[in-house]
Every structure is written in structure tokens, then in C-alpha cells.
């Protein structure tokens, strides 16, 4: 076939040709200039990748015989970033329209300038969403008629070049489809730049011309556009593009060198003291035990439940157990409940119905239930008396055993408030003797953040030694 | 006429060679009409003209008027959105002063 002898034939996907764009559309020419620029730079087709989103201009990826991805709408830049991170040697180019890159993917466009990866964004600006019949988009000029703004667009357009300059792109240029040789120069310079590059390419849309009764936008570009060597701040503005268009390279800067990261260079912590605790597994004799911890968020309720279940599993490997935590969206200060089930048989229902052992670190949960304390008749309650209103327990005081410990007060006076759960755990360990002391200590060591093991263990000891008056 | 010959002498144009190209038009790819016609508009040698025979899609692709006129500038190839036209270099030829003079006259 004749197309096989075409000089661009190596880079074109011939089975997809002829292309789908409208008669008179100039997007195909951008494809040609891209092919020319990669041929000029001598890039290997295997080292070049094109990612595009959805839209008229995003069809370019389908016609190029490179490694291309046709991504979802507006997500061309994140997809390209993934390609770049996976293989930094690739030359990644993003082709897209103004609706794709500036409208729907606008935030990704801003973020790329901040991240500073070596990627090229070629934005074909045709003043609206032309693929679906020309709706109003972010770059539609003020007063332009589209399907959705039949009386003229009431909003001022955003200026892509100004946004790119503000976002920190190291290469920013503007060109039109009517100046393909200038565009090739811009593309070559953009691909040589080691930072994020952005080129705004003005492309005429036949639908825009028809709706706004312009004879030929291409002729208008050729007539009004001026290619300038040095551009001033006034040239950035193109809101009145029917009068003047300034083309050229607005910025071609080297990539900023990143300062060393402050977090990484901080001093290393001294190696934590190692604790050596040994324990012997033994049969616990528990048939079915329901344990509930109640309190407010931030007291370590979930952490306490985790410590307890870990210790129980260490002590008796045959024991089955579940941990269920419930807390509201208000993690710090809201009500928080942790249910722990220990059973010698398999557990069917993971929630506690009537707890055998209730650990109350706060009365907020009981107050939410109108002051009712749910506990088995032969159960045990361990109360943090510095936090709980003891009048709540008067109804159940006749049948159940109640142990009181000012865990939060001890933790606040001797250590920090965050270890109050370990103080309570130490007290529980002595008064109930469900779980061995050494097992609990091992579990605390495992779950404590590095550097705080000693404090946690001391808190546990002080709770263990506490004798209520 | 006098002026032209003197200019040719000044530039020593007797030994000047220009490339000769072959233009291939893939008629069925073309979408040329009033909106496009870029290959015809931008050709510096004016070797193309709008044709009269419609292609598969009903568009009128351009036809080659001057078979030997192409100088392989490659503009039609770059400007064509549909990749329906391309040029290849097939040789070179010497330009004579008379030819230049004739051409200038023709353009005037």
C-alpha cells in the first residue's frame, strides 16, 4: 500500500488509518509535528511513550505506533506519572485537550508542576469540549457561543500558560497549529528540558467556527499571531485572542535542585534497650469468656484489647479469640468499645452480648445507654475510679465484684496519660488472674512503639502493685 | 530581464543544484475541501491543484499539475492532517539562469 512508503510510516499505526477527525481539523498536524520532533531528536520508538485521556486530541495516542495508553477522562497525567515512575528512562508525553488536561484533570495538571517529574504535557486548546458537540469548557472565550451557552459564555476563560507558569513548570510555551515549524522547535526544546514541560497549542475547531460564525480560525491565527524571541508579562494574557496572540517560549529553566529532606537527616535514635521476658504456655481453662473494654477514644482502648488478645493467644495456643472494635467518627474523645472473646471452641458470633469482665476506663459509653451498665450477674467490673462516676455502679454493686483503680491518675502523675491502659491492665492481671503476667508483658513489648517499652512496662508494674484502700 | 541575469551572476547560480521530488497522493485518505486545502495553499512551487474526481468519501483530493516541480520542502507532508500526501527525494538537477528568469516572469 502507498501508506507503507510514507516517511512517518514507522511511527504510524497504519491499520488505524485513515483517521477520524473532522475535515479541516488540524489535530492531525500536531501528530505530524510530534513525529517530526521525535525523528529530529533521534528517539528510539521503544523509549518513547504517549499517554492520552479522552477527547478529540487524545485520539493521537491511537494513531502512533509507540507504547501508548488511552487513559480515562482527565487522568492522563496520573497514568503517565505511573509510567514514568515504573521506567524513568522512558520519554513520556501527555497528549490531551483543554477539557481533559485543564478541565477535568486540572488538579493533576497543577500537581505535576509541583512534583517536578520529567514529563511533557502537550495541551491542544480548541476552546471547549468538542468531541461531544462543543459544550462550554474552561478555556471558552468570554462571549463565545457553545451548545450550553447559547447566549455567549458568561465566564472569563482560564489562561493555561499563566496557570502553568504559576504551578512551577520548567518549560512553558505557546504555539498554534498554523505554525508547525515553530511547534517542532518548541516540542524539541520541551523534550530536552529535564523538568515538567507544558505547551499550549491553539487548534481551530470546526464546530466553534460554525457556532460563532468565524470563517477560518486558522487564517485568524496566521494573521494575528506573532512569534516573539523575548516575551513580556503582557504577552501571557490572551483573553482577547481575536486581536493579538503572542507565541513563543515563556520559560525554559533548569530543574531546581532539591534540598536534602529535613526528616531524613535528623539524628538516629539511640538503640532501644532490649528486654528479655520468657513465659511458659499453659492451658488456661477458659471455656467461653466475654471481655469488654469501654472508654473514650484516645485512652488506648483498642490497644488494650489488642494487648489482651495477644497475651491470651501466647498463653494458650489452643484458645480461639476474636477482637471487635467499635468507635465513632470522632476518634479522639468519642465513645469507644472493644470486644474480646476467648473460647476453647470455634467462635460463631464475634460480638460480646453480656460481658463477664468489664473494664471501664470512662463512663461515656454507659451514659450513652442512659446510665445502664451491662454485666453478667457473676461478672467482674474493673473501674478507673479517676474517670468514672461511681454512682452508675450502684445498681449492680450487690451481685458483681467491683475493683477500683485510679489508673489515669497514676499514669498522669508518674508517667504519661497514654499509658493508663497498661496501668489498668496490670491491675486486672493481679485481681482476676485470667492471663499470666509474663504473657501480658510480652504482648505490651510487642505492641508498644519503639523507645517507649520501658515506660509501658513500668506503668504495667505500678498497676500490678497497686493495692486499693 | 537584464536585472535578473545580473543577479544570477552575482550569486554564481550556474552551479546551483536543487532536489527533485516525487509526490504521492493517497486519494482515499484525503478530506480536502474548503476547510483544508493546506497542501495547495502552502506549496511554494504551486505544483498542486484541487482535483475534480471525488474519492470514496466524496472529497476532492488535489492533483499534481507540475510533475517535475517539487523541490522536497516537505510542507505538504507536514501540514496534511490525514497523512494523505508525502514526498520522496529522487534526484537532483542543476538550475539554469534562464529558468530562474522565466520563473520570475511567470510569478509576476
| CA dist., res. A341 & res. A98, Å (int) | 58
Task: Give the pLDDT of residue A344.
Answer: 86
pLDDT grade for A331, boundaries at 50, 70 and 90? low
Of A5, A17, A25, the CB nearest to B29: A17
Domain residue ranges in chain B: 2-107
Band of residue A309 on the pLDDT scale cut at 50, 70, 90: confident
- Inspect the interface and report whether the beta carbons of B77 and A12 lie closer than 8 Å: no
Q: Calculate helix-pair angle for A420-432, A301-315, nearest 10 degrees.
A: 40
Please give the pLDDT value at position B4.
47
The ipTM value here is 0.84
pLDDT tens digit string along A56-101?
888 899 999 999 999 999 999 999 999 999 999 999 999 999 999 9
A23 interaction partners in chain B (CB closer than 8 Å): 31-33, 35-36, 59
CA distance A68 to A73: 15
Q: Average pLDDT, stretch B38-61?
A: 87
Minimal CA separation from B30 to chain A, in Å: 9
Among A127-141, A144-158, A268-282, A314-328, the minimum mean pLDDT is found in: A268-282
| pLDDT greater than 80 at residue A355 | yes
- Neighbouring residues of A257: CB distance < 8 A, sequence distance ≥ 6: none
pLDDT at A270: 61
Q: Which three cell numbers stand for residue A197?
A: 514541560
Quick check: A109 pLDDT over 90? yes
Quick one: pLDDT at residue A422? 85
Picking from A24, A62, A63 by the largest number of B CB atoms within 10 A of its own CB, the best residue to mutate is A24
Mean pLDDT, to the nearest integer, of B98-105? Answer: 79
What is the Cβ-side half-sphere exposure of residue A3, based on CA atoms within 13 angstroms?
18
pLDDT in tens, B58-101: 888 899 988 888 888 888 889 988 888 999 888 888 877 787 78
For cell 493555561, the residue is A160
CA distance A32 to chain B (A): 6
**Whether the predicted pLDDT of A43 surpasses 70:** yes
Number of CB pairs, chain A paired with chain B, less than 8 A apart: 65
Q: Does residue A51 have a pLDDT over 90?
A: yes
Residue pair A165/A236 in contact (Cβ under 8 Å)? The answer is: yes
Nearest CB among A2, A23, A206 relative to B59 is that of A23
pLDDT digits 0-9 by tens, A203-262: 999 889 888 898 888 888 888 888 888 888 888 887 777 788 889 999 998 987 877 777
**Model-level pTM?**
0.68
Distance, in Å, from the CA atom of A341 to the CA atom of B6, rounded to the nearest integer, reads: 108
What is residue B14's predicted lDDT score, i.e. its pLDDT?
Answer: 59
Closest CA–CA distance from residue B7 to any residue of chain A (Å): 30
Distance from CA of B3 to the nearest CA of A (A): 33
Model confidence at A266: pLDDT above 70 = no
CA distances from A345 to A311, A325, A350, A435 (A): 18, 21, 13, 18
Q: Where are the alpha helices (DSSP H) in A316-372?
A: 364-368
| pLDDT-above-70 percentage for chain A | 95
> Which residue spans within B3-81 are E strands per DSSP?
17-25, 48-50, 62-64
Q: CB contact, 8 Å: B31 with chain A? A: yes
Q: What is the pLDDT of residue A260?
A: 75
CB A208 within 8 A of CB A217: yes
- Give the pLDDT score at B2: 43
Any idea which architecture A2-252 has in CATH?
3-Layer(aba) Sandwich (3.40)
- List the single residue in B with minimal CA-CA distance to A13: B83
Contact (CB<8Å) B88/A5: yes
What CATH homologous superfamily does A288-465 map to?
Answer: Pyruvate-ferredoxin oxidoreductase, PFOR, domain III (3.40.920.10)
Q: Give which of B27, B41, B30 is closest to A21, Cα–Cα.
A: B30
- Is the pLDDT confidence value at B13 over 60? no
Mean pLDDT (chain A, rounded):
86
Question: Mean of the per-residue pLDDT values for chain B?
Answer: 80
Mean pLDDT of A98-110: 92
Q: What is the pLDDT of residue A191?
A: 92
Closest CB from B32, B82, B88 relative to A18: B82
Contact with chain A for residue B83, Cβ under 8 A: yes
**Quick one: residue A67, left, alpha or beta (phi over 0 = left, psi -120 to 50 = alpha)?**
beta
What residue spans in chain A does CATH classification 3.40.50.970 cover?
A: 2-252
Which residue spans of chain A are classified as CATH 3.40.920.10? Answer: 288-465
Q: Is A205 left (phi over 0), alpha (psi -120 to 50) or beta?
A: beta
Residues of B in contact with A6 (CB under 8 A): 83, 86
Beta strand residue intervals within A163-220, DSSP E? 171-176, 197-202
Q: A141-155, A341-355, B9-23, B74-88: which range is least confident on average?
A: B9-23
Range A380-400 average pLDDT: 82
Does B90 contact A at CB distance below 8 Å? Answer: no
CATH class belonging to B2-107: alpha beta
Contacts of A115 (CB under 8 A, 6+ apart): A81, A196
A27 in B contact zone (CB under 8 Å)? yes
- What is the pLDDT at residue A93? 93
Question: Which of B39, B42, B83 should one mutate to test binding to chain A, selecting the residue with the greatest count of A CBs within 10 A?
Answer: B83
A25: number of Cβ within 10 Å: 25
Q: Which residues have C-beta within 8 Å of that of residue A387, sequence separation ≥ 6?
A: A295, A361, A362, A363, A408
Residue B1 has pLDDT above 50, yes or no: no
Amino acid at each position: 500500500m502507498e501508506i507503507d512508503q510514507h516517511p512517518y510510516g514507522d511511527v504510524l499505526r497504519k491499520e488505524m488509518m485513515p483517521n477520524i477527525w473532522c475535515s479541516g481539523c488540524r489535530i492531525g498536524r500536531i501528530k505530524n509535528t510530534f513525529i517530526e520532533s521525535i525523528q529530529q531528536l533521534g528517539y528510539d520508538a521503544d523509549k518513547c511513550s504517549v499517554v492520552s485521556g479522552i477527547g478529540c486530541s487524545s485520539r493521537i495516542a491511537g494513531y502512533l505506533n509507540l507504547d501508548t495508553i488511552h487513559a480515562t477522562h482527565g487522568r492522563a497525567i496520573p497514568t503517565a506519572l505511573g509510567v514514568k515512575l515504573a521506567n524513568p528512562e522512558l520519554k513520556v508525553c501527555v497528549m490531551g485537550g483543554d477539557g481533559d488536561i485543564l478541565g477535568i484533570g486540572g488538579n493533576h495538571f497543577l500537581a505535576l508542576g509541583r512534583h517536578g517529574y520529567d514529563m511533557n504535557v502537550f495541551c491542544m486548546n480548541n476552546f471547549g469540549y468538542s468531541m461531544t458537540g462543543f459544550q462550554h469548557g474552561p478555556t471558552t472565550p468570554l462571549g463565545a457561543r457553545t451548545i450550553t451557552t447559547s447566549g455567549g459564555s458568561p465566564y472569563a476563560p482560564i489562561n493555561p500558560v499563566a496557570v502553568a507558569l504559576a504551578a512551577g513548570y520548567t518549560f512553558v510555551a505557546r504555539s498554534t497549529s498554523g505554525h508547525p515549524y515553530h511547534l517542532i522547535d518548541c516540542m524539541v526544546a520541551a523534550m530536552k528540558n529535564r523538568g515538567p514541560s507544558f505547551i499550549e497549542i491553539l487548534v481551530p475547531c470546526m464546530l466553534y467556527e460554525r457556532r460563532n460564525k468565524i470563517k477560518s480560525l486558522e487564517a485568524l491565527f496566521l494573521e494575528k499571531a506573532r512569534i516573539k524571541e523575548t516575551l513580556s508579562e503582557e504577552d501571557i494574557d490572551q483573553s482577547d485572542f481575536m486581536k493579538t496572540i503572542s507565541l513563543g517560549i515563556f520559560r525554559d529553566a533548569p530543574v531546581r535542585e532539591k534540598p536534602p529532606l529535613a526528616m531524613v537527616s535528623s539524628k538516629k535514635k539511640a538503640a532501644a534497650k532490649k528486654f528479655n521476658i520468657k513465659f511458659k504456655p499453659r492451658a488456661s481453662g477458659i471455656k467461653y469468656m466475654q471481655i469488654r473494654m469501654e472508654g473514650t477514644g484516645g485512652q488506648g482502648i483498642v490497644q488494650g484489647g489488642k494487648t489482651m488478645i495477644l497475651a491470651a493467644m501466647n498463653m494458650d495456643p489452643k484458645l480461639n479469640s476474636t477482637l471487635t472494635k467499635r468507635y465513632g467518627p470522632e476518634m479522639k474523645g468519642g465513645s469507644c468499645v472493644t470486644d474480646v472473646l476467648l473460647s476453647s471452641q470455634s467462635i460463631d458470633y464475634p460480638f460480646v452480648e453480656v460481658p463477664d469482665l468489664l473494664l471501664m476506663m470512662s463512663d461515656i459509653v454507659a451514659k450513652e445507654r442512659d446510665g445502664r451498665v451491662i454485666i453478667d450477674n457473676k461478672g467482674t467490673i474493673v473501674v478507673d475510679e479517676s474517670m468514672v462516676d461511681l454512682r452508675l455502679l450502684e445498681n449492680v454493686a450487690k451481685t458483681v465484684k467491683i475493683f477500683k483503680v485510679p489508673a489515669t491518675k497514676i499514669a498522669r502523675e508518674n508517667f504519661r496519660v497514654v499509658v493508663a491502659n497498661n496501668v489498668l491492665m496490670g491491675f486486672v492481671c493481679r485481681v482476676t488472674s485470667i492471663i499470666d503476667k509474663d504473657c501480658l508483658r510480652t504482648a505490651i513489648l510487642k505492641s508498644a512503639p519503639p523507645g517507649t517499652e520501658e515506660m509501658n512496662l513500668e506503668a504495667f508494674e505500678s498497676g500490678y502493685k497497686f493495692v486499693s484502700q | 530581464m537584464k536585472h535578473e541575469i545580473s543577479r544570477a551572476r552575482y550569486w554564481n547560480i550556474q552551479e546551483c543544484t536543487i532536489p527533485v521530488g516525487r509526490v504521492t497522493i493517497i486519494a482515499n485518505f484525503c478530506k480536502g475541501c474548503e476547510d483544508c486545502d493546506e497542501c495547495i495553499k502552502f506549496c511554494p512551487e504551486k505544483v498542486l491543484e484541487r482535483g475534480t474526481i471525488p474519492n470514496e468519501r466524496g472529497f476532492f483530493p488535489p492533483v499534481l499539475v507540475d510533475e517535475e516541480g517539487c523541490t522536497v520542502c516537505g510542507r505538504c507532508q507536514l501540514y496534511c492532517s490525514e497523512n494523505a500526501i508525502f514526498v520522496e527525494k529522487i534526484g537532483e538537477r542543476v538550475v539554469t539562469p534562464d529558468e530562474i528568469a522565466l520563473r520570475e516572469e511567470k510569478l509576476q
